[in-house]
Amino acid sequence: MAAPMLRWVGRGRRWTFARVDGGSCHRRGAPTGSTSNRIRGQSSVAQQPLYTTQKPRKGEHKWAAVVGLEIHAQISSNSKLFSGSQVRFSAPPNSLVSFFDASLPGTLPVLNRRCVEAAVMTGLALNCHINKKSLFDRKHYFYADLPAGYQITQRRLPIAVNGSLTYSVCAGKKQSQVIPKTVRIKQIQLEQDSGKSLHDDLRSQTLIDLNRAGVGLLEVVLEPDLSCGEEAAAAVRELQLILQALGTSQANMAEGQLRVDANISVHHPGEPLGVRTEVKNLNSIRFLAKAIDYEIQRQIDELENGGEILNETRSFHHQLGYTMSMRDKEGKQDYRFMPEPNLPPLVLYDATSLPAGADPQQVINIDQIRETLPELPSVTRERLVQQYGMLLEHSFTLLNEVGLLEFFQNVIKETRAEPKKVTSWVLNTFLGYLKQQNLAVSESPVTPSALAELLDLLDSRTISSAAAKQVFEELWKREGKTPGQIVSEKQLELMEDRGALEQLCHSVMEAHPQVVMDLKEGHPRAINKLIGLVRKATQSRADPAMIKEILEKKLSS
Amino acid sequence: QSGSSLRIVSAALKQGQITPTELCQKCLSLIKKTKFLNAYITVSEEVALKQAEESEKRYKNGQSLGDLDGIPVAVKDNFSTSGIETTCASNMLKGYIPPYNATVVQKLLDQGALLMGKTNLDEFAMGSGSTDGVFGPVKNPWSYSKQYREKRKQNPHSKNEDSDWLITGGSSGGSAAAVSAFTCYAALGSDTGGSTRNPAAHCGLVGFKPSYGLVSRHGLIPLVNSMDVPGILTRCVDDAAIVLGALAGPDPKDSTTVHDPINKPFMLPSLADVSKLCIGIPKEYLVPELSSEVQSLWSKAADLFESEGAKVLEVSLPHTSYSIVCYHVLCTSEVASNMARFDGLQYGHRCDIDVSTEAMYAATRREGFNDVVRGRILSGNFFLLKENYENYFVKAQKVRRLIANDFVNAFNSGVDVLLTPTTLSEAVPYLEFIKEDNRTRSAQDDIFTQAVNMAGLPAVSIPVALSNQGLPIGLQFIGRAFCDQQLLTVAKWFEKQVQFPGIQLQELTDDCSAVLENEKLASVSLKQ
């Protein structure tokens, strides 16, 4: 993949991406009006352009950014990685803590089969090589929410290696061009989560909650193939969708089920990589993109000013939008890695290596897991395009909004309307309303059945599309009425009575002689005014085509 | 001492010649009489009496749980016991009451055993004398035996008897003293480099280290996870087999336990004929430091096997001399890691300093651990540093593999069991023992025992005879991995041949044991 060029643009101390075909990082301009043709994060990726898109001047210095990610995904499992304690978000503090989680002396880890299966599944979905034998290690550091003084992880021989993640970024004037990209996956390792420390600076106290201590994590390490915040955001979003499709992680960033650390450096293409910084604990996709772009910019500024980049850990201040050195480590930590002696090597089997007569409860069969893999997001999108004839970017939107695909499919199931019609209604009208009121799909006042019924009425030409919009607005008010009831109460049925419509046209023409005159004097577009007036008189219940036909007939007579 | 074995007293319980409560009270009274031995850190009198009461009910209802029902046992104070303080003889865990039982403790209780108390040890089992715990050293009951005292009277140079007491060896010295002084019928030790076999040899007991993976470590506060094994201390081999039968087996809470490698229960046949047996004598174990008495007993034992028709072969374990230093690196590295959890936050000792979390950690650990523990943590962390890891830890692991292979090669050459000394000499007086530091002592005392732990093999120390000073000397048998039963069967045959004279503690224990032996057990019949 070609690395994008970043160019120094002079005194403004801003840098920007040059538009290079294909492999470049495409910045958008101002936000486009439509919500339907953009790849969005859970709450949509930064819509404000971070960098002004200016033309580079001649002789300017070129920079390339190199970004690698370490992603921690909490495994969705009933119990923790090495203990029987439950896994639950927002339980009362220290209510989900086993003796092992509290590291009581003498307790031993017992590996949770479900977590191993989740790791294998994720590895397979990310095109990894699954290691038939993997090992556990202890990583030592003293921290109050790490009760054993070490974390059990997989450093030497992780469960999955050498995979890839294909994601897409949008480009083009309307962000309608979908460009597929690939980032290599170095490894996926199983490890324990830590507890949580709550610092009370006023009382200089730290409170510890061990509910999270020992929850299974998948650490997914991406190779530094990314080059800007947008790419990172798109890659993480795709990973999030994959994890959710697999059910291996709920991957909700706001709840900390997906946490991203970014390693960032800049260099001149062709020269060795620069010193990198690590930006920690990025808890939303939007902040991830912002933090990376800020940090790239900061490093370029620093270097352009003759400064140097320190190999340090930085945190992102999401309100103020900048990264700052964490300065919490005096020098480099030595984690004193050591093999975990209480866990034998984790051995996995496939169809060929499975020992005869093995107890299925005691062994994990990679091939068997492969067979249970659900449809992955990229396949779903392809299917949507093929099956419903929608644009690829529409399929992205359907998947990116939580619950939207399911909503769409439920509508499709219940309506006779054309899939294209459904797509348009779901992505424009429905999603537009949701966005306007900042609601999630699950909070929508309109059910798939109601929308399906509405689209049926439209499809059967019982109502006009203008009336349909009106019905939709009524539905949104949550008054518990069906579209049919609304239509009959408000008398929104399409006017089928030609005689009545002719009468109406006649009176409109009589009431607006000037318009009729204009028409006759050779201004044919004036007819639209008449059509509009007639429609208004029918409360949008008449078919505009029929109105036009009647008017034309009357005018020519 | 026939009445003193677990098997015999178990038969007496079954036949109603003695009740569990009587037995429990007898042992409690002996515990009180021998308090000065410092064998116990905690005596769980109330728990034991309650258990005895329940056991008595079972016997009355004819619902005995088996051989261990009503049998007084003691447990080293590094096994978690629910509701009973578990200290590891360290300030760090003073006052720590675990909320759960170690699997081995639970198994003993499930079989109806009576828990008499928690026995003394070196702090966190780091030592070979049972002299380096926060509750003080354990005294070897043999210091007060008739056999030793008579010999000392003959010696014109003998010093003041009171200050001249002997160490038990260790680190399971409390368990050894408890069994040796008849305060219980079996005790759990732990064995990481010889901590069960060493005190067994010094206290004239059978000290058995099972194969790694045969007995659960869950609840054993670890020294070195990859070498720790719960050990069994008893007065005869059959008793050890009974206890092993109760403890062995896979444990879902310990992933390193092995699924049913051997048949249970551990009934030991009485071997009539050793002619099909091949005994290996590792030539590297003949070291200059070995006392002439132990050496001579070792060769007599080999002769005994040979004269009874067994094949006795000299074998080579060529990497033996690297074993101690390798053990040191691996042991301290795991210690550094295992001790990391003791930070004063969740349990155990916490210092008063609250300037910062780091300052609190530092002071807590300085106050909580003794010099030996701190020294091992320091060296272990040094070996695990990124720049040292390859040169120390990885190399030591490679050497460990070579040492394990030495044993495999010996057994592959046709040897069934290896015969070695357990210790260099008999127990030494405390004052002499403490002339050397803990590290030097451990390195010397573990010389014959720790290689077995690195290889995960079963081994047992059997008391053979008394030294010129009237002190017990033990020899060690080492078996193939998971051939624990075969090993114990050979040990049982050997035990029968040598007829080791039991400890004579009449002055100490006076009427209690006498009553039991002479009157009550006269009519006990044993099913063979």
Supply the DSSP symbol for B218: T
- Report how many Cβ contacts below 8 Å link chain A to chain B: 99
Say whether pLDDT at A404 is over 70: yes
Count H helices, E strands: chain A?
16, 18
The shortest CB-CB distance from B340 to any of A150, A337, A344 is to: A150
Please, which contacts does B59-62 make with residues 24 or more away whose CB atoms are closer than 8 Å?
B59/B13, B59/B14, B59/B16, B59/B19, B59/B20
- For testing contact with chain B, the best of A97, A99, A104, A111 (most B CBs within 10 A): A104
- Judged on CB neighbours under 10 Å (0-12, 13-18, 19+), A349 is middle
Chain CA centroid to CA A553, Å: 54
Classify B475 as helix, strand or coil. Answer: strand
Write out the E strands in A327-400: 338-339, 346-347
Lowest mean pLDDT among A64-78, A105-119, A155-169, A305-319: A305-319
**Tens digits of residue pLDDT in B230-257:** 999 999 999 999 999 999 999 999 999 9
Helix (H, G, I), strand (E, B) or coil at A443: helix
| pLDDT band per the 50, 70, 90 thresholds, residue A14 | very low
Pick A108's closest partner by Cβ from B253, B339, B342: B253
CA distance A326 to A334: 18
B195 is catalytic: yes
Residues of A within 8 A of B99 (CB-CB) are 99, 104
Q: How confident is the model at residue A38 (pLDDT cuts 50, 70, 90)?
A: very low
Q: Which of residues 109-168 of B touch A (CB under 8 A)?
A: none
Over residues B288-295, mean pLDDT: 96
Q: With bands split at pLDDT 50, 70 and 90, how would you rate the model's confidence at B265?
A: low
How far is the C-alpha of B142 from the C-alpha of B122, rounded, in Å?
A: 19
**CB-CB contact of A91 with A117 (8 Å):** no
Sorted by where each starts, the structural domains of chain B and their CATH numbers stand as: 14-324+395-506 (3.90.1300.10)
Please check whether residue A439 touches B, CB under 8 A: no
How many CA atoms are closer than 13 Å to the CA of B337, on its beta-carbon side?
29
Q: Residue A12's pLDDT is what?
A: 32
pLDDT at B269: 87
Please check the confidence at residue B3 and state whether its pLDDT lies above 60. no
Within 10 A of A406 (CB to CB), how many other CB atoms are there? Answer: 13
- Find, in chain B, the residue whose alpha carbon is nearest to that of A84: B253
Q: Which of B195, B211, B323, B333 is catalytic?
A: B195
Task: Please name which of A540, A531, A539 lies closest in space to residue A512, comparing C-alpha atoms.
Answer: A531
Closest to B74 in 3D by CA, of B149, B13, B138, B128:
B138
pLDDT beyond 50 at B35: yes
- The mean pLDDT of chain B is 92
CB-based contact (8 Å) between B388 and chain A? no
- Least CA distance to B361: which residue of chain A? A142
Run of H or E including A384: helix A377-388
Q: Residue A206: what pLDDT?
A: 86
Residue-wise DSSP of A285-313: HHHHHHHHHHHHHHHHHHHHTT------E
Which pLDDT score is estimated for B246?
95
Closest of A12, A15, A11, A1 to residue A62, by C-alpha: A15
User: What pLDDT shows up at residue A60?
Assistant: 53
Contact of A527 with A512, CB cutoff 8 Å: no
Average pLDDT over residues A411-415: 95
String of DSSP letters for A454-495? HHHHHHTTSS-HHHHHHHHHHHHTT----HHHHHHHTT-S--
Torsion of CA B330, B334, B336, B342, to 10 degrees: -160
Closest C-alpha to B240, from B177, B178, B189, B306: B189
The beta-carbon neighbor of B343 closest among A110, A111, A149 is A149
Residue B254 touches partner A, C-beta closer than 8 Å:
yes
Report pLDDT for A54: 42
> Is A150's Cβ below 8 Å from some Cβ in B?
yes
- Give yes or no: B10 in active site: no
CA B30 to chain centre: 21
Contact criterion met (CB below 8 Å) for A420 and A385: no
- Say what the pLDDT of residue A23 is: 37
Whether A364 shows a pLDDT value over 90: the answer reads yes
For A514, residues 6+ apart whose C-beta sits below 8 A from its C-beta are none
Please report, rounded to a whole number, the percentage of residues in chain B having pLDDT higher than 90: 85
Q: What is the pLDDT of residue A371?
A: 96
pLDDT digits over B295-347, tens only? 999 999 999 999 999 999 999 999 999 999 999 999 999 999 999 999 998 89
**For chain A, what are the domain ranges?**
64-339, 377-490, 498-556
Interface contact flag, B256 A140, Cβ < 8 Å: no
Q: State the pLDDT confidence band at A46, using cuts at 50, 70 and 90.
A: very low
- Tell me which residue in A106, A110, A334 faces B386 most closely, judged by beta carbons: A334
Q: What angle do CA A101, A107, A109 make, to 5 degrees?
A: 70
Q: Is B79 on the interface with A (CB under 8 A)?
A: yes
Coil, helix or strand at residue B183: coil
Determine whether B208 is exposed, middle or buried from the number of CB atoms within 10 Å of its CB (0-12, 13-18, 19+). buried
Please report which confidence band the pLDDT of residue B387 belongs to, taking 50, 70 and 90 as the band edges: very high
Residues whose CB is less than 8 angstroms from the CB of residue A220 and which lie 6 or more positions away in sequence, other chains included? A69, A70, A71, A72, A73, A122, A126, A185, A187, A188, A239
Q: Do A342 and B253 touch (CB under 8 A)?
A: no
Token code pair at residue A276: 């990198």
Give the per-residue pLDDT at A514.
85
User: Is B128 annotated in the active site?
Assistant: no
Backbone torsions φ then ψ of B491, nearest 5 degrees? -60, -40
Check A342 against B254: CB less than 8 A apart.
yes
Mean pLDDT of chain A: 85
State the pLDDT at residue B509. 65
Tell whether pTM > 0.80: yes
ipTM: 0.94
Which residue, chain included where needed, has tokens 């230093």?
Answer: B325
| Range scoring the smallest mean pLDDT among A278-282, B25-29, B494-498 | A278-282
A110 interface with B at CB cutoff 8 Å: yes
Summarised one tens digit per residue, pLDDT across range A91-143 is: 999 999 999 999 999 999 999 999 999 999 999 999 999 999 999 999 999 99
Neighboring chain A residues of B382 at a CB cutoff of 8 Å: none
Which residue among the candidates B171, B216, B425, B442 is catalytic per the annotation?
B171
Contact A105/B222, CB-based, under 8 Å? yes
Whether A32 has its CB under 8 Å from any CB of chain B: the answer is: no
Confidence of residue A466 (pLDDT cuts 50, 70, 90): confident
Residue A343 has pLDDT above 70, yes or no: yes
**pLDDT recorded at residue A507:** 86
Strand order in the sheet with B229-234: B40-43, B114-119, B72-76, B186-191, B229-234, B206-209, B459-466, B472-479, B417-421, B278-282, B311-315
pLDDT at position B522 is 44
CA distance A103 to chain B (A): 7
What is the end-to-end Cα distance of chain A in Å, rounded? 68
Q: How far is CA A256 from the centre of its chain?
A: 15
**Top CATH class, A498-556:** mainly alpha
Q: In the prediction, which pLDDT does A103 show?
A: 96
Q: Give the pLDDT score at B259.
A: 84
Pairwise CA distance, residues A453 & A483, whole Å: 7
Pairing of strands B114-119, B40-43: antiparallel
- pLDDT of the residue at A108: 98
Rounded CA separation B308/B420 (Å): 18
pLDDT given for residue A205 in this prediction: 83
Give the residue from B178, B89, B68, B156 showing the smallest Cα distance to B369. B89
Identity of the residue in A104, A108, A208 whose CB atom sits nearest the CB atom of B98 = A104
Whether A94 has its CB under 8 Å from any CB of chain B: the answer is: no
Q: How far is CA A144 from the centre of its chain?
A: 33
Given pLDDT bands bounded at 50, 70 and 90, which one contains residue A19? very low
Q: Do B341 and A144 touch (CB under 8 A)?
A: no
Q: Give the mean pLDDT of A349-374.
A: 91
What pLDDT, on the 0 to 100 scale, is given for residue B156?
67
What confidence score (pLDDT) does residue B72 get?
98
Of A379-388, A426-435, A535-544, B99-108, the one with minimum mean pLDDT is: A535-544
Least confident of A47-51, B170-174, B307-311, B496-500: A47-51
Q: Is B341 on the interface with A (CB under 8 A)?
A: yes
A377-386, A521-530, B342-351, range with the lowest pLDDT: A521-530
Give the residue on A whose Cα is nearest the Cα of B80. Answer: A106
Average pLDDT over residues A146-160: 97
- Taking each helix axis from N to C end, the angle separating A448-459 and A465-476, rounded to the nearest 10 degrees, works out to 160
Percent of chain B with pLDDT over 70: 93
Of B86, B256, B342, the CB nearest to A342: B256
A348 secondary structure, DSSP code: -
Burial class (CB in 10 A: 0-12, 13-18, 19+), A208: buried
Beta carbons of B361 and A142 less than 8 Å apart: yes
CA distance A163 to A127: 5
Whether A342 has its CB under 8 Å from any CB of chain B: the answer is: yes
In Å, how far are A3, A46, A223, A293, B188 from A230, measured between CA atoms?
Answer: 14, 8, 16, 8, 62
pLDDT the model gives residue A326: 82
**Binary contact (A336, B253; C-beta < 8 A):** no
